[in-house]
Structure 1
Amino acid sequence: MAGNKAPVAGEIYSFRTLPLSEFAPPETGRYAAFKVLGVNERYVAIAVLGGIWSAPPSLRVANEAPVLHEHRFAHTGRMATFGVNTDRWAPSDLDSVALLGRGTLSAEEEAISATIIGFRIGSSYSTLRYANHAAEGEWRWEHDRDALIAESEKSKAKVAVECAAKEERYRTRIKNLTWEKLLAETPLDRWGRSPPFPPVEFTEAARETICNAYRELRELGTSPPKARVRSILRRCVEWFNEADKAAGGVIETKEREDICTVLEEMAFVAKQKSLVDKIDTWREW
């Protein structure tokens, strides 16, 4: 089994794929692999390989596999390559992961690596769990498409029900919010573990920034001027823009949702609901 040791360019890992949703069969019986294309102090460049095996492949077999191209659902054939923040490098996030050894890198793979670890336009970033999603998803799309689509629809339906319930809870919460209640809470309270959430230092600084904004907005009184509220909200958004860049892009989907919720609540409590629509125009994450 592979631990979370520092990665080295050319290393190839195998892993057992996991189901893509709770509606899929609980055991896949399949193994996939990924290759480390390159590493710098901020990113690890990853390529998911195109093979699927009934047992962990040998180093030679895995090294001969091409990079996987993604075609499922809305994908149009792009290569399954992405970057992982070095502080989120965790092979143990995958099931039965094993280091097979160090393979060779083609000139194309080295070029892909340079793009990813250079944080250039067109690069994508995630956690190693995406390797499972890509490998298992493409196999299902090719060999079990109808069932995969049916499972996806079930997942969407469940999410819709959960979102509706969450929205109702949110509306109830908004009606009763005050600055005192917000200041008595811990902002971004589910960011307790890193990974999957941002580093502790980022989280603590984010919470301090949010609480400072609460206090500034509270000082504006019961009829705060829209321009002042707008300025405070925008400054808070811009702090996240800069902090995210400095941290190497740690704001992902869940983090984005949590931050936007906090900003929306600020706008509502400050009696400037129209500013909610401005948040997306200011943010870069």
Structure 2
Amino acid sequence: MKNPVPIDGSVFSFRTRPFSEFAPPATDRFAAFKVLASNHQFVVVAVQGGIWNAAPTLSDVSVCGILHVRRFLDTGRPAVWGINIEEWKLSEIDEPVLLGALEVSADEIGLAEKIFNFLPGSVISSMDGASMAPEGEWRWVNDRGALEAEREQVRARAAAQRAAQETRMKNRLRGLTWEKLRSETPFERWTTSPPYPSEQFTREARMAIHRACETLQELGPKPKKTDVRKVLRTLVEWFNRADDEAGGVIETEEREDICAALEEIAFVARQESLANEIDEWRTW
């Protein structure tokens, strides 16, 4: 259940979380974020620049300013992003405390408006991102060697997972049919929101996949490439619109799952090469 949307200027402190699963399990560090503004779609927050060994006071936070992200050669962008209003859940961060409220400056309002209007550079993230940003920046300054080593561990694990997934995919494709695709539930791991999209988005995405499979099956065992392209592109454009309307909920894992589903559809339609065109159509 989401929490009530806080008033503009609300300041929350919280305990930061480990930057990765390879980090020590407890950070013993605290940070804070400020709510800049909200509308019908997003709550915009700005992570503040301080890190404390205990929960800070409102006075502590008031002198910090916005954190700028510089780890891993980032550009120094402000740690400001929109959180989908349906995902505004304080339970997603550790030990949250409402400290009070501070005035929101004109510059801060401008940062929020940038996100509301989806201007270039806007970032849509999650509550958990508020914890990751200050912890990551603190470690970049104070524990960089270990942080970079952890990132390599994360990359190595991801590479191993991709290799295993490719092997599973090859084995799966051998026996894949329209009947099998239509009997399955796409995006089965999208069961918790956040981090995955909302239940409504997931339900409609599954229906869109099944509609495309049904349409292509009706075209016969070897449909024309132009017909398959039309169905696939229509499906991709559905995801484009749905993602925009939901505020940009398709992130890395969702993108991988959707692309895998599209590739399977192209394979069963016996037009595998169309999978190479997906990136030209999608906006996520």
1:250 aligns with 2:239: no
Q: Is the contact made by 1:44 and 1:117 (CA closer than 8 Å) also made in structure 2? A: no
How far residue 136 of structure 1 moved from its aligned partner, in angstroms, is 0.3
Is 1:189 the equivalent of 2:188?
A: yes
Shift of 1:26: 1.2
Q: 1:211 is matched by which residue type in structure 2?
A: H
Equivalent residue for 2:226? 227
Deviation per CA, 1:86-142: give whole Å up to 9, x if none: 111112101111111111222211111111123222211010111111100000000
How far apart are the structure 1 equivalents of 2:275 and 2:82? 31
Residues 98-247 of structure 1 aligned to structure 2 (within 5 Å): 98-247=97-246
Spell out, residue by residue over 1:165-187, the C-alpha distance to the aligned partner (whole angstroms, 9 max, x if none): 11111111111110011111011
Q: Secondary structure at the match of 2:69?
A: coil
Kept after mapping to 2: 8 A contact 1:44/1:83? yes
Amino acid at match of 1:53: W
Counterpart of 1:274? 273
The separation in 1 between residues aligned to 2:237 and 2:109, in whole angstroms, is 34
Please say if residues 12 and 63 of structure 1, whose CA atoms lie closer than 8 Å, have aligned partners that are also in contact.
Answer: no
Cα deviations across residues 6-30 of structure 1 (Å, max 9, x unaligned)?
A: 1221001111011111221111110
Residues 13 and 100, structure 1, Cα contact 8 Å, conserved in 2 = yes
Structure 1, unmatched stretches of 5+, are none
Q: Distance in 1 between matches of 2:160 and 2:197?
A: 28
SS at match of 2:238: helix
Q: Distance in 2 between matches of 1:221 and 1:197?
A: 35
Question: In the TM superposition, what is the alpha-carbon distance from 1:201 to its structure 2 partner?
Answer: 1.9
The structural deviation recorded for 1:196 is 2.3
Distance 1:46 1:171 in 2: 43
Structure-2 separation of matches of 1:268 and 1:283: 19
Structure 2: distance between partners of 1:157 and 1:117: 36
Q: Which moved more, 1:90-99 or 1:29-38?
A: 90-99
Report the residue type matching 2:222 in the other structure. S
Give the counterpart letter for 1:49 in structure 2: Q
Offset at residue 207 of structure 1 (A): 1.2
Deviates most, 189-198 or 273-282: 189-198
**Runs of 4+ off more than 4 Å:** none
Aligned match of 2:23: 24
**Separation in structure 1 between the aligned mates of residue 162 and residue 242 of structure 2, nearest angstrom:** 29
TM-score with structure 1 setting the length: 0.96
Q: Determine what percentage of the aligned residue pairs are the same residue.
A: 51
- Count of residue pairs brought into register by the alignment: 283
**Residue aligned with 2:196, SS:** coil
Aligned pairs for 1:65-84 (under 5 A) are 65-84=64-83
Q: Over aligned residues, Cα RMSD in angstroms?
A: 1.2
Distance apart, 1:5 and its partner CA = 2.4
In the other structure, the counterpart of 1:41 is 40
Distance 1:93 1:144 in 2: 25
Structure 2 runs not aligned, ≥5 long = none
Secondary structure of the equivalent of 2:125? coil
Secondary structure at 1:15 match in 2: strand
After superposition, the C-alpha distances for 1:18-47 in whole angstroms (9 at most, x for unaligned) are 111122111111001111011111111111
